[in-house]
């Protein structure tokens, strides 16, 4: 065994890591240094593939947050990795799950299409609601016009009746003296 290989194996002897396979959902806890403070940051996602062998092994983890895919490559035996927890094991039939990248794009395209469809439907609903309100307003205006026309007709009828009654009274008054005169003449005979 050459000197470099010996040195690498000696570095990873105390580090225990789980056996990882593509498709596994893992939670990787890494140590992050921010100024003087250090904290542990977790990254949970699906393993897309494992690259290399021995101490230089690295694996790629992908997760989707808010419609965006985020990938990180972790060296398996990095001293910055505190813990690797396998959340779920999945059986896959590929060594590299790179098609998951396209699934996200396709899902994004589908989301865009569905959003456009939703906007179109909302616009159609809004247009139909406006038309309905317009039709109701027109119907109310028509009813009001009918009501006003009916009131005018009744008012005109009342005026005509008043005029007729006034004419009838005039004719009665003109006839009364003539009738009384004729009655008096007939009495006188």
Same domain, 15 and 45: yes
Which residue numbers in the chain have pLDDT < 50?
none
Per residue in 82-134, pLDDT (tens digit) is 999 999 998 889 899 888 887 766 666 777 788 888 888 998 999 999 999 99
Strand partners, 49: 60
Q: Is residue 182 part of a domain?
A: no
Residues 162 and 126 in one domain: yes
* Residue 181 included in any domain: no
**Within this chain, do residues 49 and 111 fall inside the same structural domain, yes or no?**
no
Q: Which of 64, 97, 130 is the last residue of a domain?
A: 97
Domain membership of residue 131 (yes or no) is yes
What is the pLDDT at residue 156? 85
52 closest CA partner among 8, 7, 93: 8
Is residue 179 included in any domain, yes or no? no
Q: Which residues, 6+ apart, have CB-to-CB distance to 143 below 8 Å?
A: none
Nearest in space to 84 (alpha carbons), one of 153, 26, 37, 131: 26
23 and 79, same domain (yes or no): yes
Same structural domain, 137 and 150: yes
Judge whether 64 lies within some domain.
yes
Q: Give how many domains the chain has, as a whole number.
A: 2
What pLDDT, on a 0 to 100 scale, did the predictor assign at position 16?
87
Query: CA of 13: how far to CAs of 16, 17, 18, 50, 75, in Å?
Result: 8, 11, 14, 20, 15
Q: How many helices (H) and strands (E) does the chain have?
A: 2, 5
Residue 149 lies in a domain: yes
pLDDT over 90, % of the chain? 43
77 & 114 share domain = no
For residue 61, is it within any domain?
yes
Write down the residue that tokens 């790179």 correspond to.
98
* Residue 33 domain-assigned (yes or no): yes
Name the pTM for this structure: 0.55
- Per-residue model confidence (pLDDT) at position 180: 59
CATH classification of the domain holding 56: 2.30.30.790
List the domain range (segments joined by +) for residue 76.
Answer: 3-97
């Amino acid at each position: 065994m050459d000197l470099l290989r010996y040195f690498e194996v000696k570095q990873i002897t105390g580090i225990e890591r789980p056996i990882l396979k593509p498709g596994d959902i893992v939670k990787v806890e890494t140590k992050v240094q921010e100024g003087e403070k250090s904290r542990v940051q977790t990254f949970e996602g699906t393993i897309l593939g494992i690259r290399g062998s021995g101490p230089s092994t690295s694996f790629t983890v992908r997760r989707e947050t808010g419609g965006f895919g985020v990938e990180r490559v972790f060296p398996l035996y990095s001293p910055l990795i505190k813990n690797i927890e396998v959340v779920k094991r999945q059986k896959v039939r590929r060594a590299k799950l790179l098609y998951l990248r396209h699934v996200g794009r396709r899902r994004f395209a589908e989301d865009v299409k569905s959003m456009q469809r939703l906007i179109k439907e909302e616009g159609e609903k809004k247009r139909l609601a406006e038309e309905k309100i317009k039709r109701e307003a027109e119907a109310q205006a028509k009813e009001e016009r009918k009501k006003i026309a009916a009131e005018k007709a009744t008012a005109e009828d009342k005026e005509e009746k008043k005029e007729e009654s006034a004419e009838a009274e005039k004719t009665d008054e003109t006839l009364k003296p003539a009738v009384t005169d004729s009655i008096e003449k007939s009495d006188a005979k």
